[in-house]
Amino acid sequence: MLQEILGRVRAPVLLLRAERGHLPDEQQLRSWLAAVPDLAIETVPGASHHLHIEQPERVAGRIRLAWDGADRDAPRRRRL
């Protein structure tokens, strides 16, 4: 059921994981999320569970890059 739902995701997914966080290693995450068509998993070096608090500039910068890339790749909407 979950794999079916994940397979319907159409937006690019960026999963930032902490090097010393609670999430499993990258291979395990990839196995669990294999149904997501456009998945990027990146590890933030030196971060623990609260990576967004510990390294806000790095996390925000990476999200900005992903957002900019997704926006650039998205089909342009027509004006009505």
Q: Convert the pLDDT of each residue in 3-21 to its tens digit.
A: 899 999 988 999 999 999 8
- Long-range contacts of range 66-74, CB-CB < 8 Å, 24 or more positions apart? 66/12, 66/14, 66/40, 69/12, 70/11, 70/12, 73/12
User: What's the rounded mean pLDDT across residues 34-62?
Assistant: 93
Specify the pLDDT at position 3: 85
